[in-house]
Amino acid sequence: MPELPEVESVARSLRPRLVGRRVVAIEVSGLSLRRPIERERLERALAGAKAEGVRRVGKYLLIDFSTGNVLLVHLGMSGRLLFARPGEARAPHTHAVFRLSGGLELRYVDPRRFGVLRAYSAGELERSPELSVLGIDPLAPDFSVAQLIAMLASARRDLKGFLLDQSRLAGLGNIYACEALFLAGLGPRRRTHRVGAAAAARLFGAIREVLEAGIRNRGTSFSDYVDAEGDQGSNQNTLAVYGREGEPCRVCGRKIRRVVQGARSTFYCPGCQK
Amino acid sequence: MRDDSDESLMFRYRDGDVRAFELLVTRHRKAVYNFIVRFVRDAAQAEDVLQETFLRVIKSADAYEKQAKFTTWLYTIARNLCVDAARRGKHRRAASLDAPVNNDPEAPALIERIADAGAGVDRQAIGRQMALRMQEAIAQLPDEQREIFILREVNDLQFNEIADIVGCPENTVKSRMRYALEKLREALEEYRDLAQAAP
């Protein structure tokens, strides 16, 4: 699933060619994503409007339009937003096509259909069912170690589950949660309220470091993920634990282990993570 | 630093010492959670309110002045958030008698506080039944009586502090406490003779 760095990379790849163009027409496949794509609602909100900016909140992409309306996109498990020329063949599982001014299309492709594509007015956006439940974005400038301490102390669960909870921290998924815990030297099953200030400070730094590295490497591409220009990321080549079960830890040499937590695979080093 | 007062730790945190904030959180986390969970009667929502309480402390740290005890300030924030949560009506539901009061693996359940560990089996059984009845009776108190009973009996705060937290005169706090105790006494009346008769 695209996580914060992948969504941020898509946002960055969208800006140069999307901002300044108007939506000329919208086509949809008629198949439902996680929620149905409401074509009339999209048309009312976006037709004729000019894209003015692209931003990200957690794992959500937000495209701001001149009318004050916003297109909210979640890429789900396998969603992609891709630029294409109008005559180009459409990829299978193309569920929405935004025809733009200047002879360009923005296409939403999603084989597994877990994504979200929905228009909101600026006033509705913060109260939307998608954004109203989100926690703090870990790359937000005002996110602090003290906030993380408060959040850890208030939860009663394992660290890995905490990091994946979008209502606490919005943007981390399985890959970057595993990598952050490794970098912080913290075991994935450690209880949140038993993490002291020093460990919380390490975790805070590790979360930001793995996310920023992911963005620098333009995301982690294991299978589906590409940015809006169709380019893969390279972060998969730098991962310390994720997907490396049985391979030696690059720090201590012990074999990386995999356990299942909350129906998700967790990769960790039994030597480095306590 | 461990022996510093709450107020001193808050000033240290205001000046940038994150370790002081962690000490404050460690010191008060359980007690504030116990207050919140008995107010909102939902463990998951209590965690949300607890988190928001400490996040508000962070947000207000720059403006913190030693005008009131830190705990009074802290419980005022927690209480206001509980009231907001109750107004929103999210997750509002009756307390389960089977579930522990707060799902807190660390905190002793109310049942354990009331039942005497050294007592005989019959007495322990009566103690458990009584604790459950007590839990139910507390949950059924009107909000304004329940919060005062919890702040006084669970969080061990003084009446004048509670008056500051809930924003009403101390005499009103005392009369609400009196009504709460009367209701609880009525609810537990049937156990009085049983508890005395058991070996």
pLDDT score for B193: 67
Domain count, chain B: 2
- From B53's Cα to the closest Cα of chain A, the distance in A is 9
- pLDDT tens figures, A69-99: 999 999 999 999 999 999 999 999 999 999 9
Mean pLDDT of the region A177-195:
96
Q: Do B75 and B158 share a domain, yes or no?
A: no
User: What letters, b where the CB count within 10 A reaches 16 and e where it falls short, cover A34-61?
Assistant: beebeeeebeebbeebbbeebebbbbbb
Distance in angstroms (rounded) separating the CA atoms of residues A192 and B198 = 43
Residues of chain A contacting residue B60, judged by C-beta atoms under 8 Å apart: none
Q: How far is A215 from chain B (nearest CA, A)?
A: 28
Contact A197 B105 (CB under 8 A): no
Distance in angstroms (rounded) separating the CA atoms of residues B146 and B181? 10
Distance in Å, alpha carbon of A149 to nearest chain B alpha carbon? 7
The answer to whether the CB atoms of A154 and B54 lie below 8 A apart is: yes
Give residue B1's pLDDT: 78
Active site residues of A: 2-3, 59, 264
CA dihedral (B172, B47, A274, A172) positive or negative: negative
Q: What percent of chain B has pLDDT over 90?
A: 51
**Distance, in angstroms, between A203 CA and closest chain B CA?**
14
Give residue A199's pLDDT.
96
Is the Cβ of B17 closer than 8 Å to some Cβ of chain A? no
Enumerate the residues of chain A whose CB falls inside 8 A of the CB of residue B105: 156
Percent above pLDDT 70 for chain A: 100
B22 part of contact set with chain A, CB < 8 Å: yes
Position B74 in a domain: yes
Fold category of A145-268 in CATH: Helicase, Ruva Protein; domain 3 (1.10.8)
Provide mean pLDDT across the span A188-205.
Answer: 95
The residues that bridge with A136 in the sheet, in sequence order, are: A169
The pLDDT value given to residue B135: 83
**Interfacial residues of A (vs B; Cβ cutoff 8 Å):** 144-147, 149-151, 153-156, 167-168, 193, 196-197, 200-201
Show the tokens assigned to B73.
Answer: 């300030």
Based on the fold, state whether residues B191 and B151 are members of the same structural domain: yes
Contact B25 A149 (CB under 8 A): yes
CATH annotation of A4-125: 3.20.190.10
**Residue A138 contacts residue A215 (beta carbons within 8 Å):** no
Domain boundary among B94, B120, B149: B94
A257 or B3: which leads in pLDDT: A257
Q: How confident is the model at residue A130 (pLDDT cuts 50, 70, 90)?
A: very high
**H runs (alpha helix) in chain A:** 4-18, 39-46, 122-125, 145-154, 159-164, 174-184, 197-216
Instruction: Give the closest residue to A258 by CA, choosing from A272, A271, A244.
Output: A244
Confidence of residue A105 (pLDDT cuts 50, 70, 90): very high
Residue A146 and residue B18: Cβ atoms within 8 Å? Answer: yes
Residues in A touching B58 (Cβ below 8 Å): 144, 146-147, 150
In a domain, B85, yes or no: yes
CB-CB under 8 Å, B29 with A193: yes
The span from the CA of A214 to the CA of A9, in Å, is 9
Q: Are A269 and A254 in contact (CB under 8 A)?
A: yes
Task: Determine the pLDDT at residue B128.
Answer: 76
Mean pLDDT of chain B: 80
Q: Could you give the CA distance from residue B1 to residue B168 in angstroms, rounded to a whole number?
A: 35
| Per-residue pLDDT at B100 | 34
Quickly tell me which residue has 């209880």 as its tokens. A191
The confidence band for B122, taking pLDDT boundaries of 50, 70 and 90, is low
State the residue range of the domain holding B180.
Answer: 108-199
Amino acid present at B15: D
* CB-CB neighbours of A89 under 10 Å: 7
Q: Give the DSSP letter string of A69-135.
A: EEEEEE-TTT-EEEEE-TTSPPPTTEEEEEEETTTEEEEEE-TT---EEEEEEHHHHTTSTTTTT--
Is there a single domain that holds both residue B124 and residue B88?
no
pLDDT of residue B171: 94
pLDDT at B109: 37
The Cα A226–Cα A79 span in angstroms is: 9
| Chain mean pLDDT for chain A | 95
Mean pLDDT of B174-179: 94
**Confidence (pLDDT) at B188:** 82
Does the beta carbon of B44 lie under 8 angstroms from any beta carbon of chain A? no
Taking an 8 Å cut-off on Cβ atoms, the answer to whether A153 and B54 are in contact is yes
Same domain, B181 and B116: yes
Q: What is the CATH number of the domain that holds B114?
A: 1.10.10.10
Answer whether residue B96 shows pLDDT above 60.
no
Q: Residue B123: which pLDDT band, with cuts at 50, 70 and 90?
A: low
SS3 of residue B78 by DSSP? helix
More confident residue, B107 or B127: B127
* pLDDT score of B110: 39
Using 50, 70 and 90 to split pLDDT, how confident is the model at B87?
Answer: confident
Query: Tell me: the pLDDT tens digits for A14-65?
Result: 999 999 999 999 999 999 998 899 999 999 999 999 999 999 999 999 999 9
Q: Which two tokens stand for residue A15?
A: 């800006």
Mutation to test the B interface, candidates A132, A142, A156, A194, most B Cβ within 10 Å: A156
pLDDT at B104 over 50: no
Q: Is B76 on the interface with A (CB under 8 A)?
A: no
| pLDDT of B94 higher than 60 | no
Q: pLDDT value at position B129?
A: 78
pLDDT recorded at residue B120: 60
Q: How large is the ipTM?
A: 0.83
Which residue has tokens 């949809």? Answer: A28
Let me know if residue B103 belongs to a domain: no
- Please answer whether residues A232 and A223 qualify as being in contact, where contact means their C-beta atoms are separated by less than 8 angstroms: no
Residue B73: give its domain's CATH number.
1.10.1740.10
Extract the tokens encoding A39: 């074509």
Q: Determine, for residues A149 and B51 on separate chains, whether the beta-carbon distance falls below 8 Å.
A: no
Q: Please report the pLDDT score of residue B107 as a whole number.
A: 37
Q: Angle CA(A113)–CA(A117)–CA(A120) in degrees, nearest 5?
A: 155
The reply to whether B99 falls in a domain is no
Token pair recorded at residue A146:
């003290």
- Give residue B117's pLDDT: 44
Q: Flag whether pLDDT at A224 surpasses 90.
A: no
Q: What is the DSSP letter of B40?
A: H
